[in-house]
Structure 1
Amino acid sequence: MAGDTEAFKELNAEQRNKNIILVGMMATGKSTVGAILAEELGYELVDLDHVIIETEGRSIAEIFAEDGEEYFRSVETAVLKRMLESENKLISTGGGAVLAPGNTALMLSKGHVIALTATEEEIIARVSGDQNRPLLAGNAVERVRRIMEDRHNAYLFAHYTVDTTGLTAAEVSQNILMHYRG
């Protein structure tokens, strides 16, 4: 497990009482770990993709097919801003939420950002056969590799990073809680 533990420990009480925002590639465990953390901390769980689906009244695959990725990213940014207007939320973002200009600064200003990572092999194993990921249409292995390459540095802004490869969601959650609580 990697992370900038010193930076994590230097969070003051005000920062710790805002929000926790999980970022990272698809299939790194953001939704599953987020649910465990939200329950443990008594925070409201917000799965950003689910809020987008509710807001738009259609699936993410439909949004991509009908309006494209650029439109999806604009909706994603608007929903993220709305969700970060209040505190004590555990927000699980989509893997590309960090791509829109300004989203990373917004996340850093409104909460504590934790990046979840996993190896390429682990991600491919987790997403194999998943038809609900529009960015993986076609050759999923090649698409995962390209997305990981494109986003190699996209999550480095996070306060803390946990490699979820080979770990259970409970183990990842305990790691995060241990550091979050100091």
Structure 2
Amino acid sequence: MQAILIGFMGSGKTTVGRLLAQKLATEHADLDDLIIQRAGQPITSIFAKHGETYFRQLEHQTLEQAMTVPGILSTGGGTPTIAVNAKLLMSSSVPVIWLAANDQTILRRVQHDASRPLVNELDENVLLALKQQRNRQYAAAADLIIPTDRLTPVEIVRQIKTWLSTAQRVLQG
């Protein structure tokens, strides 16, 4: 794994992850997609049929497996907020990059998205409170923080590539 992207839903993890993988000529994996493949059902169904605890167990197992293959990994918004996942991310040598976005950006991006279980369950104020709570956990797990609000995906990828190449030179130094 060359980099792991974390952040709240709507922060751009999947979009940036795909583009970054393309620019680095490597594979991209979206943890939510890997979970869907593993479970054979959509995440909304996993939550509805089995609950969040089951989903988080499945997520952790899938994260462990995904971190063993080359490429870029985009995680789910709650992935680093679960203690075992946070520990795994922080103990890994793989760079963890937090794509941070302000409240208005997040709301604009996730509004009316039926594929996001928490958007369907929570009102706007509770959703933003959850985001604020998770920010501390994202910060703790991140090696690099990129505020994405005023950047295009291409600009974000450029920043990540520059940082990764600098970090690589320091490690080899």
TM-score (norm 2): 0.89
Q: Is the 8 A contact 1:128 1:140 kept in 2?
A: no
CA distance in 2: counterparts of 1:56 and 1:160, whole angstroms:
31
* Aligned length in residues: 164
Q: Is the 8 A contact 1:33 1:169 kept in 2?
A: yes
Which residue of structure 2 lines up, in the alignment, with residue 48 of structure 1? 31
CA distance in 1: counterparts of 2:134 and 2:100, whole angstroms:
11
- The range that moved more, 162-171 or 144-153, is 144-153
Gaps of 5+ in 1: 1-17
From 65, 71, 86, the counterpart of 1:82 = 65
Gaps of 5+ in 2: 167-173
Q: Is the 8 A contact 1:24 1:30 kept in 2?
A: yes
Q: Is the 8 A contact 2:35 2:58 kept in 1?
A: yes
CA distance in 1: counterparts of 2:20 and 2:65, whole angstroms:
21
Output the amino acid matched with 1:168: T
Taking only aligned residues, the RMSD between alpha carbons, in angstroms, comes to 1.3
Which residue of structure 2 lines up, in the alignment, with residue 23 of structure 1? 6
What does the per-residue CA deviation read over 1:104-125, in whole Å, with 9 as the maximum and x for residues that have no partner?
A: 2322314110000000000000
Which residue of structure 2 lines up, in the alignment, with residue 170 of structure 1? 154
**SS in structure 1 opposite 2:29?**
strand
1:64 is the counterpart of 2:47: yes
Q: Is the 8 A contact 2:32 2:75 kept in 1?
A: yes
* 1:138 to partner: Cα distance: 4.2
Q: Is the 8 A contact 1:135 1:143 kept in 2?
A: no
Q: Is the 8 A contact 1:124 1:140 kept in 2?
A: no
1:120 is the counterpart of 2:112: no
1:158 is the counterpart of 2:142: yes
Higher relative contact order (CA 8 A, sep 6+): 1
* 1:19 to partner: Cα distance: 2.4
Q: Is the 8 A contact 2:81 2:138 kept in 1?
A: no
% same residue:
35
**SS in structure 1 opposite 2:45?**
helix
Which residue of structure 1 lines up, in the alignment, with residue 164 of structure 2? 180
**SS in structure 2 opposite 1:161?**
strand
CA distance in 2: counterparts of 1:136 and 1:143, whole angstroms:
10
TM-score (norm 1): 0.85
1:102 is the counterpart of 2:102: no
